[in-house]
Structure 1
């Protein structure tokens, strides 16, 4: 600081100009969005390593290890099939209800897992945040990568189920790749949004399970999507069918199943999926970036 003052008095330059010429920045300054993005890219190896460590830590103490990534959605699908497909008989109107139900459970579970983990991502890593300097978005992005890895394993099992239930293997199955990329980007934005929100309002974490349960019931996971057209009309039907999770689930059903009735035309579903990905993916990223300097304080 003494040298800075001397330089300032000797050159007659403003302190801000002297700092700029010496590569100094204000403490606690929020980087611009492009600068923040470049920082994240430079930490890509840390993000990958952190994601791998999360997988090892979560599964290393269990006897079945990574099998739980497959067993959990399978058990859920089995329970839902007995309750909704057999007892309540919601399978009416769907020729292959097993494939229909499993797709809904697996794809919804992808987003559900990201949201639940994202809501805890900042709060549960305060020690790391306070000890080290790195872009805080690395944490929710790492969590999203963990769930991307899980859904890849789960999709292999899902495709076996769909094929074994009688669906033919077609070139349209390749459409699951762009659909999952869009959903993963959507999930990352959602994870960053709930991460910042939950870090400011801790009670949000208690509401997440109820919100996700309601969201599941509104995403035609457990019953035919035709139930919406049977009971809703006009703007109400439009709003319900624009549900982003319903859109992603319907895209996977369109890719893996033949003769399945969808909530809209494939072109409309793809358009809505891209729109939701841009809005939530970019919006969640910007929202999280705006709170970058506040994480770990207080």
Structure 2
């Protein structure tokens, strides 16, 4: 269609030369292929964020080791010593560290991911790329920290309990938690983009989740002391973080077998696949809305 002066309209020119809106949402299959093609960007961006986090500190990347240790020290003093939750738990240090490290991995993915798009609006508005690359880079950055924390945990357990073949079970456990973290990070990345207040609310949500996940004490043992009905244990076992923590603990600590949560592997697998699929779908549905004023 031509304008009043006989010139071709922008819409007709776009159609003639095969142009499309930069903000259009592609089919999910095409979106995933394009996302895979940007994997090098995700890796580079995550590496740059890791470097930037400690670039201004005098101790630099040493804080990657100090931060989880200091957090664990605070919780050990507060819960293990002052509240006495270490009573009846062998190797409480490894027990506590494994719970804190696993929970922190998911917690930081959620909180940092919820701001991943809002903090990069200029990039989103300038370039056309799958927006999921940004929250994925944040998850990869937290995975790097988690690997450092696991190395610390291996040293602690190696000195206290000694190495064992069951340690290899941590690899599939980390894969499952990584899948879950990607899904839940994508969910909160979308929510955080359109509801900025969620970043203020998340610390209270994750703190409540922290205390309900059996990090400082054994859930089955604690509920048994309280004479709680068996169905309460079953309900709490559906907490995905509790399942991931339980798998890591049974992989590292031989004595943890007597306090295992029921069906932890099954629950962890179901949560991982469901959250990954749901998270990608939920995030992709708003792909054409990210970056709008």
**Matching residue within 80, 90, 94 for 1:99:** 94
Q: Which residue of 2 aligns with 1:173?
A: 167
Residues 61 and 293 of structure 1: CA distance in aligned 2, closer, same or farther (over 3 Å): same
Normalised by the length of structure 1, the TM-score is 0.89
Give the stretch that moved more between structures: 218-227 or 229-238: 229-238
Which digits, 9 at most, give the CA deviation of each residue in 1:182-218, with x for residues without a partner? Answer: 1111111111110101111111110111111100000
Post-superposition shift, 1:29? 2.6
Question: 1:182–1:277: 8 Å Cα contact kept in structure 2?
Answer: yes
Residue 256 in 1 paired to residue 279 in 2? no
Which digits, 9 at most, give the CA deviation of each residue in 1:131-172, with x for residues without a partner? Answer: 1111000000000111111111111111101222x2131100
Q: Which residue of 2 aligns with 1:8?
A: none
Question: 1:220–1:246: 8 Å Cα contact kept in structure 2?
Answer: yes
Which digits, 9 at most, give the CA deviation of each residue in 1:96-126, with x for residues without a partner? Answer: 1111011111111111111111011111111
Post-superposition shift, 1:71? 1.1
**Matching residue within 159, 182, 190 for 2:184:** 190
Post-superposition shift, 1:262? 3.4
Q: Which residue of 2 aligns with 1:10?
A: none
Which digits, 9 at most, give the CA deviation of each residue in 1:72-104, with x for residues without a partner? Answer: 111111111111111111112211111101111
Q: Which residue of 2 aligns with 1:64?
A: 59
Count of matched residue pairs: 281
Q: Distance in 2 between matches of 1:26 and 1:142?
A: 25
Question: 1:229–1:237: 8 Å Cα contact kept in structure 2?
Answer: no
In structure 1, runs of 5+ residues without a counterpart are: 3-14
Q: Which residue of 1 aligns with 2:274?
A: 279
Q: Which residue of 1 aligns with 2:29?
A: 34
Q: Which residue of 2 aligns with 1:112?
A: 107
Q: Distance in 1 between matches of 2:18 and 2:33?
A: 17
Q: Which residue of 1 aligns with 2:141?
A: 146
Written as runs of structure 1 = structure 2, the 5 A alignment for 1:1-298 is 19=15, 23-25=18-20, 28-164=23-159, 166-225=160-219, 226-231=221-226, 232-260=228-256, 261-265=258-262, 268-298=263-293
Question: 2:64–2:148: 8 Å Cα contact kept in structure 1?
Answer: yes
Post-superposition shift, 1:25? 4.1
In structure 2, runs of 5+ residues without a counterpart are: 3-11
Give the stretch that moved more between structures: 283-292 or 223-232: 223-232
Residues 144 and 97 of structure 1: CA distance in aligned 2, closer, same or farther (over 3 Å): same
Q: Distance in 1 between matches of 2:259 and 2:178?
A: 22
3-state secondary structure, aligned to 2:120: helix
Q: Distance in 2 between matches of 1:220 and 1:264?
A: 10
3-state secondary structure, aligned to 2:114: helix
RMSD: 2.0
3-state secondary structure, aligned to 1:259: helix
Residues 139 and 28 of structure 1: CA distance in aligned 2, closer, same or farther (over 3 Å): closer
Residues 28 and 88 of structure 1: CA distance in aligned 2, closer, same or farther (over 3 Å): closer
Post-superposition shift, 1:234? 4.7
